[in-house]
Structure 1
Amino acid sequence: MSAILEVENLSKCFSGKKTVLRNVSFSIPRGTIAGFIGDNGAGKSTTMGAIIGTIRKDGGSVKIFGEEMDSNKSHLKEDIGAVFDQMHLPKQLNIKQLGNVFRLLYKNWDQNIFQYYITYFSLPKDKKIGDFSRGMSMKLSVAVALSHDAKLLLLDEATAGLDPLGRYDLLEVLKDFVADGQRSILLSSHITSDIETIADILIFIKSGSILLQISRETLMSRYAILECTYKEFEHIESSLVVGYQKKSDQVDVLVCDREQVPFTVARKDFSIDDVALLLMRGEHL
């Protein structure tokens, strides 16, 4: 399965020499949804900005469809739909007027598809965009991203501000988007239940470094979170330990192969949220 997006050794430092990204590497195959998981400030938005070129990278490579990304390559930009937490759509326009603007900006703009999503998301066509709620603005941004035949979507907190029904509708749209096996999505969200619902691949990032990239199926079927005594922890093979968090009377340990750990060691049922918390709050060998 070929990769639609390949990020290799991406690095970024801002003023004061603060390192925001440290050799970030991951890939997203065609037809998949990748969940991008990390705390605020972990580097998710900076990574997405560096991918599309709104943030200048200091090192590394970004390839889309096997071609090196460059801000001057308009044909690549046409194939990318981006939705960020703060979108700057013209506030004085309504949806009807906005559609006419984007028709001029994108060669592959499809007004019929745009109108379909406007209706699907129940957005008002005559109301000024500046008067939209946060949730309505996010839905509109997604509708725009879906209406110019993009092959790759970058969605940064796109479900934030949506009520449960709105989130459900959006997730259904995203699943349909990749159903043909030729499109992909990189989705960041603090709502890990959304990622758990639709993501095929999970990418965990902390302090600008990728901790783990893994398929959701492999994580849930092969990995385990152990509840060890300190003595048991000392005897676990270090190559199995992905991360651990010490507590007053035990150590929670994420291991990459549950079958290689003695069954006498206690295990807990876990979710992606549990894995994220352990990786973000814990330590690594």
Structure 2
Amino acid sequence: MHNKNPIETEQQEWRKLQLQKRLKTWLTISSPVFLLLIWQLSSMSGLIDARFFPPPTAILSTFYELLTNGELFQHINISLFRIFAGFLLGVIPGIIVGLCMGLYAPIRHFISPVIMALMPIPTLALLPIILIIFGIGEVSKIVTIAGSVFFPVVINTVAGVISIESIYLDVAKNYGANKKDFFLKIALPGSLPVMLEGIQMGQAIALLTIVAAEMMGAQSGIGYLIWTSYSAFLLKEMFVGLILISFFGYIFSLLLRALQRKLLPWR
């Protein structure tokens, strides 16, 4: 019986993997292209009303105009600043509180009722109170985003710490690990898989929150662009804002997945 050369077998496996990667890439690209093509043809043929759903080519032309006159950069810059500042303000305390609640049962029992009571309340429902406390400036918008990000990060971090097998905690205690070691060498890496899922969820919520917050009390930003364009029936400008939010959501998701692969290569 003829045995295959191991090198040939390895090359065949490599080519198979490359083909699978190219297929995944093609499928990933083809779905939005297909959707845009259907949208373009439907708008041009009158199947959908072009006044309410302008063709993607018209939206692209409007995007270019807003880009060249500098207006779009202003909205993008301020929105990204608010998103990143609010995201960090929500994630960092969320991780710290989640680790404390996961490691220490008394802290968990003490804080859990407050977390469970506040979590179902949409952050935007608390926006009037946030505006009263922090005013209508940048701080209120950042705090609004931070509040919406905080809860999923806390809940997932607690779940990640609790899911750590007790044998690791017992070994650490037997070797005299201090509180810093428990946090940085056991709880933090052990909870990372579940924690990163919470951070991923928080990223999506941050984008939803910034749009709504800028619609209600802002003079700039992507949400402000969407709302004012809708109010003036400038629907091409409105769609530019909507597509930008979708684009940034996709990019942030890719970045977080890349970070997850870097921190958790075994997954």
TM-score bin, normalised by smaller chain: under 0.3
TM-score using structure 1 length? 0.22
Task: Report the structure number with the largest CA radius of gyration.
Answer: 2
Which structure's residues are more often helix, by fraction?
A: 2
TM-score using structure 2 length? 0.23
